[in-house]
Structure 1
Amino acid sequence: MTINLNAFPITIPEGRVDVCEIPFDARELEELREQYRTTHTFYRQKNSILIFSSDGSYPVSGRLKSVDLKENYNVLCFLFKDGLLRYLRGLGRKPLGFKPIELLSTRPDDNILKSIIRSDYPFSIFARYKLDTRIIYGVPNLIIDCSTKTVVTKNCEFFIENGFDLHRRFIAKENDDGYRKIIGVIERVENKTIFYSDGNEVQEVRASEVYLEASRKNFDDYLKFSNPRQFDSIAEKIRVTISSFNSGENKRKKIIKLFEFLKSKGVHLISNDLVNIEVSPNIGRKCAQFDKPVFVFNDGGEADWAERGFTRFGPYTKRTFDRNDPSICVICLEQNKGQVEQFVRKFVKGIHQHKYFSGGLEGKFSLGTSRVEVFTTKDESVDSYKNAIERAIQKKAQDNEKWDLAIVQVRESFKSLSVDSNPYYVGKNIFFLHQIPVQDFTMELLLQNDNSLGYSLNNMALASYAKMGGVPWLLKSSPTLSHELVIGIGSATLQDDRFSGSRRVMGITTVFSGDGSYLVSNTSKVASPEEYCDALTTVLSDTIEKIQSRMNWLKGDTIRIVFHASVKVFNKEEIRAVRAVIDRYSDYNVEYAFLKISEFHGLHMFDSASSSERKGKYAPPRGKYLKLSDYEVLAYLIGKDQLKQASDGHPQGLILNVHRDSTFKDIKYLSTQLFNFSSHSWRSYFPSPMPVTISYSDLIAKNLGWLNKLPGWNGSVMIGKIGQTQWFL
């Protein structure tokens, strides 16, 4: 078995490289780079600037010394990428960025739209390469990644001449280096002059000098405009073509082609030292496989497959669930009432002879008989939704009761509405104020055939059961000598429009081990980045206080606290704040780990064992992992078997990095735990590309972040029973 990374070892030049060292000053570094870019290169190393020269002369005086690149891999990687940039520019190319270097193949033959749409089409989709370096078990490597990038190839004059409406679309201006910067949104067009707002005032520019933003919306809108009758078929062809381009087989072929070209040339550093690039080695024997997680169901039944566990044992809370014979209200458009009634009946009663959903919500979760009532809206306005929801709540209040679940019809188009004009969020607000969980569905879902619909309803029923307070299953934890608490830190970026600025909010989820299983404890906490450290320490303190009495922690016990976060770095303030909390619990032996989870890193694994598969060619299986160092692991939470079709592209692995300041650093243990958490989401039966600690936290941040923007929202509703359920799924 051969497994390769898209990582290619680089040789280390013999001898030492001369350098001039001066004290670091940010402004001076910027000025030196701007003035002496062609003859020198400048590298910041802590509190110094290292100046490397092509001819032995230096623009400023400083301490002269020499550097052994074998002992300074960070310097070597910097000089290697600098040499790569110089070589590419010498070829007439326009590479962008540095971490990573981005290279776009703009040859007409490399436009993957050429076989689908006519040649004068104003958009192109080109191959995009990203080049970076990474140290893998003590060896510096060149990382080559390949994907696609959509580019607008015609300026705005083309769109005006063809009659395409440009109003409220964003425009960009191209710099000398090829980078296009968004400058504003179009207010009006007069002849071939564009008047645009930059957020402060309206300015004007010639249409021939600017380009439309290469957004998905602009691409789709122009495709509908130019090909109204063929839009669906062309859009599907484009989707399949892009996905196929990003397949493991094609990605691997493109990467190897660029590697072979660079290998044949080598890379010269600014000092003229030659660095060679080697073939990616077979890492098959260094890779390992995670074991399948085990789930716990009713009466302690165990299974390593959730569907099998439900069939044999039933949900974990089968005997203790307190919402049997649930009352369910349905909110939908009056013109869709008949279709929705059929849909809801399939949801609660099941689809006959379906492999996984023949029993429906009632049968699968042993709920008894549901009591369902439909309330219609006249249209899709917020007021219509409000009226229907208030009628539903009043109807139940007359009997001194409340609904156990609300099922609400929405549309995909609601996502583009502002939060106070969005029936989805306004409806959630009203229901949550009355402690009623909400499960939405789209009319687009009703278009599926019964077989596909059954899979969708299966996931929808799982989430609904959890929202009503049920526990479908627990995740079995491995026995250890420590009590464990895992805190997931997620985030969401909220933005009403491009010039109002974005608002980043943080979500926090806690998971702890108890009675041999991992239990999710919903804090439903959200905070701005400025309040985040305080919120984190508050959650940590409150959770420890709650769990230590619940799990009967004893003096001298070992308590392990693990933090999961998809952040760039754990900053010193976070670590300092956590230590301050831990210091309060001196009766216990407390150890902690900060685990950073990186999704966008450009490193891929290609497995020859799947090279003959119809789908997922060269994709590793779920659970395959590789230790990159004593502190890092590349792990696949999604593998070839989780791809639905051949055109789904290559699965993305995660890089897990345990912070050096952690007192618990067992990367194998931590990565196994995280892998198991990727199967613990009650949003779907399928494995998640992120652990529940992150996916739940992201959902909490997104939902509470938007709800907090509604005038009538009161966050204290989460103190009630609904806050202890998975309301955000």
Structure 2
Amino acid sequence: MNAIALVTPTVPIPVAIVPYDREQLHMLLDREPRDVYATRLDDKRMAVVPLTENAELPGPREQLDPRVNIRLFSTLAREAVFRHLKTMPGGYRVTRRRPPTVESIKQKNIIPASAGLPDWMQKRRTLVFETRTLSASAHDDYVVLTCAERFRPVIDRTCAALATANVTLLGRYVSAWAPSHDQQLAEQLRLAGRIKGVDGDELLLDDHGDGPDRIRKDSAYFEPSLRNFRAVVEALKSDGAERSLRQIQEAEGELRKGKRQLDSIQKTLIWLSRQRLEVAWGVPLEFGAVLAQGSDQPFPFVEVFEKARLSFDPSGSGTMSWPQGGLDRHGPYDSSSFENKRPRIAVVCEARERGKVSAAIADLLNGVPDAENRNGLKPHETGLLGRYKLQRAQVEFFEATADSAASYTTAARAALASAAETGQPWDLGVLQVRRSWKERLSSDSPYWTAKATFLKRDVPVQALSVEMLEMGKFEYACALANASLASYAKLGGTPWLLQSRPSTDHELVFGLGSHTRKDGRRGAGERVVGITTVFSSQGHYLLDARTGAVAFEDYPTALRTLLVEAIERVRRDEAWRASDAVRLVFHAFIQMRRETADAVIDAVEGLGLNRVSVAFLHIAEDHPFTVFDQAMDKGRGAYGPKRGQAVELSSHEWLVSLTGREQINAQFQGLPDPVLLRLHDRSTFRDMRTLAKQVADFGCHSWRTFGGARVPITLLYADEIAKQLAGLEMTPGWDSDDAAVSRIMRRPWFL
């Protein structure tokens, strides 16, 4: 792993423990000389630790055993690393304190000269350090220091200079240099707002929060986001932009290769272990071994979960781990019960693309039998009709005279009018789109306006891009295979389910996501829409439900009401008895607040079920850990973990790799990162291995594409709903509280 063990000190830590006071804490951190470090212990207390022999403490000096106060030791170790980075010679720039983050001098700009970009366009390599506490089986808790590499974009030119270089400014978020809130850090770029106009030498801003509504061009810098970086490259390089971006991607990919990354991280950690660091005056920070199996340091328990078995037959006789193979051999799970064998499909496309789109629709329905890779895989041999056991579809085209929102809306309305005349509604709408439309506002997007028109009449939509039509034959067939999978699910079909596990419990798995309604990035008038996806333990998509838009503080109450309604609906459908054992598992993108967990528990207790257990699982993509498999040292994805690789960090934290080296399609992707699972202390079901295995299974179960999902579908689907709502709400005439979408919420319309 990208971590090194820290030796728990054998000597006590000197400290003064005083009542917590926010102002006093910051005063102690900023005072000169910097002879103490202050940190919060809990809601009522803070610890002040001396860093020099004669440091003045605000209270009596005590001696704390670091073995008992392991969390305090972890915090002090992280701060010791920060202090050392600050004092390193050579002009290293420390950009953050928590976690300590430093820009590398040796690779200040990784962009190759061949990309042809000016030296003020950069991607800088940074190192991020963090401390975490682990619990290896049969061993005391211990602290590790992690090191992770990141690459951040830099656009080191003012908006005045960018305008001279013909870079479009309107609509871009900009930042300005300002003093850091932390006196130990240099000045930093701080978000100023979004450009809505130009007035001479000044930029007019909206979404500027409490700041000014205008800023001088020569004081403003593009926010250093990947989106802005790409926009500047496209403006500078024009037709050569894709080539330059690909060269940058390849250069970053070389640095992200497993062996190089592991060697670089271990070299950094070993170098740091040889420095003289102290967590407090007279308490040295000592390092153990780099964390790896086979070393002297206790290593967490590891396991590789087998890929989920998928069921393609309600009888249980047709199971495979390979979804495409299972469909081709057995057909979809609900083949015998699926009634809509002759789907009616309305296709909206630009008139100038009618020929290409017509051919693509034929390929979508009937397959591309002559497209295969060198291993003989034919991703879309029999098409939507053959693979999913459907009969001839009824397809009708409705042409848009231009690639405008108005033209697409007119065509979509014509399709709906045609269905109304015949009394036969459409089962699916297919929209031909262009990738460039993503840069348009939703209100000016042919995709979003046409999609909203169809959804208002309960018609799910599938998009096909003209860029997809121009792919190589095998890639084109793969894209059509994914589109047909999503289309079948939108039609109401069940392609497959997870193989059922023997259990006497009823089990529901919830994905708790959210969509924030606000004007811009500053959160003015912010309202939260809770999004809940509900699945059976077999991964059967049951429904999605949404709260109304509520203030953040009202979210727990709104969620409680929503969950009661969702559980009661499933309970009625499946005829649960009060004495039945029921397990409710909740997946969330963020650590649930205690108020939210309590609201869920209160809701469950009011259902009249006598044997209910709950598990609240935070599934984090952003965490400090990387896992390397040194046994796999050859080929694409070398040193990457296998899909299903699991690491037990403690009784309540596991790492699970939902995508592995097998899913790396190109070297520039780097190593796949695991997700971190953290169990909430209010959970009553605490079997982390079972919960981790379930997360791994749900990561193999997306009906959106045949590839593995980066997160379990509980959260992937909730995320997709949030993206869809964000686009739809910006579309003229869309009523966010309209019940139109709720009528098809038992089908994954959002895929």
TM-score grouping bracket, smaller chain normalisation: over 0.9
Distance 1:467 1:169, change over 3 A: closer
Q: Does the 8 Å contact 2:203/2:215 carry over to 1? A: yes
* 2:466 corresponds to which of 430, 438, 443: 443
Q: What are the superposed Cα offsets for residues 333-392 of structure 1, whole Å, 9 maximum, x if unpaired? A: 111111111111111111123312111111111111011111111112221111101111
Contact 2:128 2:149 in 1 (8 A): yes
Aligned to 1:717: 740
1:132 lines up with 2:130 in the alignment: yes
The CA deviation string for residues 251-300 of structure 1, in whole angstroms up to 9 with x for no partner, is 21221221122122142234142212222233378311112212121353
In the other structure, the counterpart of 1:609 is: 631
Are residues 359 and 104 of structure 1, via their aligned partners in 2, closer, same or farther at CA, if it must alter by over 3 Å? same
1:305 is the counterpart of 2:322:
yes
**Deviation for aligned residue 1:530:** 4.5
Residue 454 (structure 2) pairs with residue 431 (structure 1): yes
- SS of the residue 1:491 aligns to: strand
Moved more, 654-663 or 279-288: 279-288
The CA deviation string for residues 577-600 of structure 1, in whole angstroms up to 9 with x for no partner, is 112122224442111111111111
1:332 paired residue number? 349
Contact 2:94 2:100 in 1 (8 A): yes
Structure 2 counterpart of 1:295: 310
Quote the residue 2:361 is aligned against: 344
Equivalences for residues 181-260 of structure 1 within 5 A: 181-186=190-195, 193-197=201-205, 199=208, 201-205=212-216, 207=218, 209-260=219-270
Distance (Å, rounded) in 2 between the aligned partners of 1:79 and 1:717: 54
- The structure-2 alpha-carbon separation of the partners of 1:497 and 1:539, relative to structure 1 and needing over 3 Å to count, comes to closer
CA distance in 2, matches of 1:187, 1:327: 44
Name the residue aligned to 1:320: 337
Question: Which has the larger displacement, 574-583 or 142-151?
Answer: 574-583
2:182 corresponds in structure 1 to none
Structure 1 716/119 Cα, relative in aligned 2: closer, same or farther at 3 Å? closer
Partner of 2:684: 663
Q: Tell me how many residue pairs correspond in the alignment.
A: 716
Q: CA deviation at 1:23?
A: 0.8
Structure 2 SS opposite 1:674: helix
Q: Within 2, Cα distance between the matches of 1:257 and 1:116? A: 29
Rounded Cα–Cα distance in structure 1 between residues aligned with 2:560 and 2:701: 25
1:283 corresponds to 2:293: yes
SS in 2 for 1:605: coil
Cα deviations by residue, 1:119-173 (Å, 9 ceiling, x for unpaired):
8431111111110000111110001001211122344564456554545543323
- Post-superposition shift, 1:719? 4.2
Residue 631 (str. 1) matches residue 634 (str. 2):
no
Q: Matched residues in 2 for 1:644 and 1:625: separation?
A: 22
Give 2:352's aligned amino acid: Q
Select 1:142's aligned residue among 142, 145, 150.
Answer: 145
Paired residues of 2:429 and 2:459 also in contact (CA < 8 A)? yes
- Equivalent position SS for 1:610: coil
| 1:48 has 2:48 as partner | no
Question: Could you tell me how far apart the structure 2 residues matched to 1:724 and 1:601 are?
Answer: 33
Match among 709, 712, 730 for residue 691 of structure 1: 712
Deviations 1:4-37 (A, max 9, x none): x111001122212222222111122223322247
Query: Shift of residue 408 of structure 1?
Result: 0.6
2:93 matched to which residue of 1?
94
Q: Which residue in the other structure is 1:472 paired with?
A: 495
* Pair 606,319 (structure 1): closer, same or farther in 2 beyond 3 Å: same
One-letter code aligned to 2:173: F
Does residue 506 (structure 1) correspond to residue 530 (structure 2)? The answer is yes
Cα separation, partners in 2 of 1:583 and 1:497, compared to 1, 3 Å: closer
| Amino acid in structure 1 at the alignment position of 2:142 | V
Letter in 2 for 1:634: L
2:612 match: secondary structure: strand
| Aligned partner letter, 1:102 | T
Q: How big is the shift at 1:397?
A: 1.4
TM-score computed with the length of structure 2 as normaliser: 0.90
The answer for unaligned runs of 5 or more in structure 1 is: none
Q: Give me the whole-angstrom Cα distance separating, in 2, the residues matched to 1:499 and 1:322.
A: 48
Which residue of the partner structure matches residue 399 of structure 2? Answer: 376
Q: CA–CA distance in 1 between the matches of 2:490 and 2:215? A: 52
Distance 1:366 1:506 in 2: 37
Alignment deviations for residues 437-492 of structure 1 (CA, whole Å, 9 cap, x no partner): 11112211111122111111111001101101111111122112321111111234
Give the counterpart letter for 2:721 in structure 1: I
Query: What does 1:513-532 align with in structure 2 at a 5 Å threshold?
Result: 513=537, 517-528=538-549, 529-532=552-555
Structure 2 unmatched runs, 5+: 136-140, 180-185, 372-377
One of 174, 185, 194 as aligned partner of 2:177: 174
> What are the superposed Cα offsets for residues 525-579 of structure 1, whole Å, 9 maximum, x if unpaired?
2554455323432333223323334333334221111111110x22121121112
Task: Report the secondary structure of 1:581's partner residue.
Answer: helix
Are 1:391 and 2:425 matched, yes or no?
no
| 1:76 maps onto 2:62 in alignment | no
> Greater CA deviation, 345-354 or 128-137?
345-354
Report the residue type matching 2:191 in the other structure.
I
* Alpha carbons of structure 1 residues 488 and 328: separation in structure 2 relative to 1, 3 Å: same
8 Å CA contact 2:508, 2:584 repeated in 1:
yes
Give the partner amino acid of 2:353. Answer: N
Preserved CA contact (<8 Å) 2:13 2:280: no
CA offsets 1:301-338 (integer angstroms, 9 cap, x no match): 22222122212211112122122121111001111111
2:111 corresponds to 1:113? yes
Pair 1:202–1:670, CA change in 2 (3 A): closer
Instruction: Verify the 8 A CA contact 2:536 2:542 in the aligned structure 1.
Output: yes
Q: Specify the alignment match of 2:423 in structure 1.
A: 400
Contact 1:615 1:647 in 2 (8 A): no
Shift, 1:728, TM fit: 0.8
User: C-alpha deviations, 1:175-200, integer Å up to 9, x for none?
Assistant: 45142112234567788x54443636
Distance, in Å, in 2 between the alignment partners of 1:544 and 1:164 is 53
Give 2:602's aligned amino acid. Answer: A
* Distance of aligned partners of 1:210 and 1:538 in 2 relative to their CA distance in 1, 3 Å threshold: closer
Determine if contact 1:490/1:695 at 8 Å carries over to the other structure. Answer: no
Tell me how far apart the structure 2 counterparts of residues 430 and 161 of structure 1 sit (CA, whole Å): 42
Structure 2 Cα separation of the partners of residues 505 and 247 of structure 1? 40
Tell me which amino acid in the other structure corresponds to 1:336.
E
Query: Structure 2 CA distance, aligned partners of 1:329 and 1:216?
Result: 36
Please say if residues 6 and 603 of structure 1, whose CA atoms lie closer than 8 Å, have aligned partners that are also in contact: yes
Aligned counterparts of 2:703 and 2:585: Cα–Cα separation in 1: 21
- Residue matched to 2:16: 20
- Whether the 8 Å contact between 1:494 and 1:702 is mirrored in structure 2 is no
**Matched letter for residue 302 of structure 2:** C
Q: CA deviation at 1:662?
A: 1.0
Q: 1:44 is aligned with what amino acid?
A: R
Q: Tell me the distance in 2 between the aligned counterparts of 1:587 and 1:648.
A: 47
* Paired position in structure 1 for 2:374: none
Q: SS in structure 1 opposite 2:557?
A: helix
Return the match for 1:418 from 441, 444, 465.
Answer: 441
Matching of residue 682 in structure 1 with residue 703 in structure 2: yes
2:138 aligns with none
Which residue, 128, 153, 156 being the options, matches 1:153? 156
Residue type of the alignment partner of 2:394:
R
